[in-house]
Structure 1
Amino acid sequence: MKILVLNSGSSSLKYKVIDIISEYVLAEGLCERIGLDGRIIYKVESKNIKENIEVELPTHKEAIELVLEKIQNIDNGVIKSIEEINAIGHRVAHGGEYFDDSVVVNDDVLQKIRELSELAPLHNPANVLGIEICKELMPDKTNVAVFDTAFHQSMPDYSYMYALPIEDYEELKVRKYGFHGTSHKYVSNIANEYLNKENSKIIVCHLGNGSSITSVKNGQSIDTSMGFTPLQGLMMGTRCGDIDPASVLYIMDKRNLTSNEMNTRMNKESGILGVFGDSSDCRDLQEEMNKGNKRARLAFDMLIFKIKKYIGAYAASLGGVDAICFTGGIGENSSVVRERVCKDLEFMGVKLNIQKNSERQDGIVELSSEESKVKVFKIPTNEELVIARDTYRLV
């Protein structure tokens, strides 16, 4: 059984074709700069093929048509016809309070995703577009929506509520929703398998250009750092994370900024980029820090401090912790970040194997020493596999 997984962004389209029985990725790639000059990357590892094609992609429809054409190509395709695709799994950013699990898409589901575009204006409209195009091009195929927010719907009310007037929640649905749920679900499930415990307390650190931390108790999300939007929580590549809301009003007043301009400032001009100034990439940050760049050192120290603060808070609210997991581009690849985060956490039972942490190893790696009371794991995330598994489960 073959599942097509799509992640439709405002000007991009990520895709994978997965044989769900073997869970093997048959083909994958990215269509980018849709609506601009267009480019598609197509990879088939089993055939050692990687193509970079410059082509006009005026809309998402042309992008999806090209993906379908490439995967059926007589020379380097992975299926003989589209009939081999059994279903399509779509990543959807926001499911609000409607969805606590993945669902088969029908008219009602599609309408609810449209309604939630108010909460995710950059993502949900593109997600809807991807679904609608697939329904047009492949009308006999089942579409499944997998929501970034669904895993966090298990959070208790005292965790997701903000201390605003209650009518802001009842009438406007202003609350913590959390994101990266598909990644947190996958990584915490893997950690649970390794722990082999009936009751587990796990902290997952998804660290990348966008970062979030989630506390998971017995397989359920209890709290997560991202909130009403992905802006809350950790300092990220270009997002500011937690700040005093009054500082936003102060900056807007002093700099005469509109709400849209302030939104851009917090989401695209802050975080590592805002403090460091040269780049939002953690690799560039570490390189400059090692050269003695003071702003790079400040940004790095801020990043580590905020990650550790969340880990400590979640360990307290969970009443202990069995495992800390690192995933995402930074979490999986930066041994320096992992080492600095775990430093001084011995008081809560964390002891990192420094040698093992510094070694470059693929796959799932236990990084804690034998005497560590808390397991530390590096677990590569696989959101597309979760989407494919949920699609298979539902169809």
Structure 2
Amino acid sequence: MRTLVINAGSSSVKIALLDGHEVVSRETVEPDDAQDALGKVLEERVDAVGHRVVHGGTRFTGPTLVDDDVLAGIEDLRAMAPLHQGPALDALRQARAALPDVAQVACFDTAFHTTMPAAAHTYAVPARWRDELRVRRYGFHGLAHEWSARRAAELLGRPLEQLRTVTAHLGSGASLCAVDRGRSVDTTMGFTPTAGLVMGTRSGDLDPSVPPYVIGEGLDAGDVATALDRKSGLQALAGSSDLRDVLARVDTGDDDATLALDVWVHRARALVAAMAAAMGGVDVLAFSGGVGEHQPRLRAAIVDGLGFLGLALDAERNAAAGVDGEVDAVIGADGHPGAVVVLEAREDLVIAGQVRDLLEDGPLQDDPG
């Protein structure tokens, strides 16, 4: 089966064509260039299309064949993930129009987190909010966290079912997940992808009284919501959403950049520890995502404060991983109870696998009559 995988993120669009498990082509483009890039790959033979969709709410808990009703259901969740749901919907509509006879499958980031216990996903808010308005912790980056936990076990040569893994997917959007023996039991993002870690333009965790306070001081409610998603995080603290720029300015002694980095690292360390606490410990910490894969300095800044969890880095291994092209590597120091790895995020392989699993007895098979 040749599966086209479309991953429309908040800052980039990843497009991959896979023939079974083999990669035919892979490309990452800016959102503005996505339509042209997608148009070119749609000229290839495609048997099925798998789409990463960030929010599935409580309705979509696994890969789902897309029809008009499903498309409307995804649209209904747009307000819960405003940076992501729109691009995914655009890609879905373009692919359906170009390939009307090809199965389109939505694969949801939230689905991996449906295994979280009630204690982890329930907010202490009024019953109507929880029951009628669907207010709960959903969690995101589930496709990436699922891959990271699985691949980390492979790198270590240990069964996934025996490992307590903290997966750290760090990019312009970022989250952590506590994967206890293959199952998500806690994560840092919540009702929307704004919660948790400090991100490129997103605030991360914030006292819930702050928005009504600043609105009461005269700010527009819509502007506040936009600011928390698009004008906060590193952008607000350092004037840049790119950690590479922040690090370069730290090295020049820039005070704003130094504070931004300190805040970013402080939150990351604290939440790694929180994820470990959800599992009663940690056997492996797995870094992925653009920042997690390619910034040894930031990996070190996080792990250097986590020795009490049995985690430590080998300086040479860490410095080499993700710098010279090779990403997947064990970078933890020998003789410590916890392992540390870095690996390439491969949501495309998870999505392609989900598409194959869903369709193997479905519309791509001959009707036996």
Q: TM-score, normalised by structure 1?
A: 0.84
Structure 1 115/134 Cα, relative in aligned 2: closer, same or farther at 3 Å? same
TM-superposed CA distance for 1:93, in Å, is 1.7
Distance in 2, matches of 1:329 and 1:64, equals 22
Is there any run of 5+ residues in structure 1 with no aligned partner, and where? 34-38, 41-59, 70-78
TM-superposed CA distance for 1:348, in Å, is 1.8
Q: 1:134 aligns with which of 71, 95, 116?
A: 95
Structure 1 11/218 Cα, relative in aligned 2: closer, same or farther at 3 Å? closer
Residue 196 of structure 2 aligns with an amino acid whose one-letter code is: G
1:253 aligns with 2:216: yes
SS in 1 for 2:209: helix
Q: Is the Cα–Cα contact under 8 Å of residues 9 and 84 in structure 2 kept in the other structure?
A: yes
Structure 1 106/333 Cα, relative in aligned 2: closer, same or farther at 3 Å? same
Structure 1 261/275 Cα, relative in aligned 2: closer, same or farther at 3 Å? same
Residue 68 of structure 1 aligns with an amino acid whose one-letter code is: L
Structure 1 321/261 Cα, relative in aligned 2: closer, same or farther at 3 Å? same
Distance in 2, matches of 1:122 and 1:351, equals 35
TM-superposed CA distance for 1:156, in Å, is 0.9
TM-superposed CA distance for 1:31, in Å, is 6.6
1:230 aligns with 2:204: no
Distance in 1, matches of 2:341 and 2:250, equals 26
Q: Is the Cα–Cα contact under 8 Å of residues 11 and 172 in structure 2 kept in the other structure?
A: no
TM-superposed CA distance for 1:119, in Å, is 2.5
SS in 2 for 1:206: strand
Q: What CA deviation, in whole Å up to 9, does each residue of 1:13-50 have, x standing for no partner?
A: 542212224x22325353743xxxxx46xxxxxxxxxx
Residue of structure 1 equivalent to 2:343: 379
Matching of residues 288-303 of structure 1 within 5 Å? 288-303=249-264
Residue 5 of structure 1 aligns with an amino acid whose one-letter code is: V
Q: Is the Cα–Cα contact under 8 Å of residues 15 and 38 in structure 2 kept in the other structure?
A: no
Q: What CA deviation, in whole Å up to 9, does each residue of 1:51-92 have, x standing for no partner?
A: xxxxxxxxx5x77544434xxxxxxxxx4xxxx311111111
Q: Is the Cα–Cα contact under 8 Å of residues 364 and 378 in structure 1 kept in the other structure?
A: yes
Matching of residues 1-395 of structure 1 within 5 Å? 1-8=1-8, 14-21=14-21, 23-30=22-29, 32-33=31-32, 39=33, 64-69=38-43, 79=44, 84-193=45-154, 194-197=156-159, 198-254=161-217, 256-277=218-239, 279-359=240-320, 360-361=323-324, 362-395=326-359
**Which stretch of the first structure deviates more once superposed, 336-345 or 303-312?**
336-345
Residue of structure 2 equivalent to 1:72: none
Structure 1 205/8 Cα, relative in aligned 2: closer, same or farther at 3 Å? closer
Distance in 1, matches of 2:143 and 2:3, equals 17
Q: What CA deviation, in whole Å up to 9, does each residue of 1:328-370 have, x standing for no partner?
A: 1111111111111111322221121112111235131101111
Distance in 2, matches of 1:326 and 1:31, equals 23
SS in 2 for 1:17: strand
TM-superposed CA distance for 1:250, in Å, is 2.1
Q: Is the Cα–Cα contact under 8 Å of residues 283 and 339 in structure 2 kept in the other structure?
A: yes
Q: What CA deviation, in whole Å up to 9, does each residue of 1:222-273 have, x standing for no partner?
A: 111111111110111111111211122222223x211111012211111111
Structure 1 327/161 Cα, relative in aligned 2: closer, same or farther at 3 Å? same
Q: What CA deviation, in whole Å up to 9, does each residue of 1:352-395 have, x standing for no partner?
A: 11121112351311011110110000011011222122112222
The share of aligned pairs that are identical, in percent, is 37
SS in 1 for 2:144: helix
TM-superposed CA distance for 1:12, in Å, is 7.6
Q: Is the Cα–Cα contact under 8 Å of residues 102 and 146 in structure 1 kept in the other structure?
A: yes
Structure 1 124/217 Cα, relative in aligned 2: closer, same or farther at 3 Å? same
CA RMSD in angstroms comes to 2.2
Is there any run of 5+ residues in structure 2 with no aligned partner, and where? 360-369
**Which stretch of the first structure deviates more once superposed, 124-133 or 298-307?**
124-133
**Which stretch of the first structure deviates more once superposed, 123-132 or 265-274?**
123-132
Structure 1 168/308 Cα, relative in aligned 2: closer, same or farther at 3 Å? same
Structure 1 252/195 Cα, relative in aligned 2: closer, same or farther at 3 Å? farther
Distance in 1, matches of 2:9 and 2:274, equals 33
Q: Is the Cα–Cα contact under 8 Å of residues 206 and 213 in structure 1 kept in the other structure?
A: yes
Structure 1 370/269 Cα, relative in aligned 2: closer, same or farther at 3 Å? same
Distance in 2, matches of 1:265 and 1:111, equals 27
TM-superposed CA distance for 1:172, in Å, is 0.1
Structure 1 351/10 Cα, relative in aligned 2: closer, same or farther at 3 Å? closer
Distance in 1, matches of 2:270 and 2:8, equals 34
TM-superposed CA distance for 1:192, in Å, is 2.4
Structure 1 125/321 Cα, relative in aligned 2: closer, same or farther at 3 Å? same
TM-superposed CA distance for 1:163, in Å, is 0.7
Residue 167 of structure 1 aligns with an amino acid whose one-letter code is: R
Distance in 1, matches of 2:299 and 2:181, equals 24
Residue of structure 1 equivalent to 2:365: none
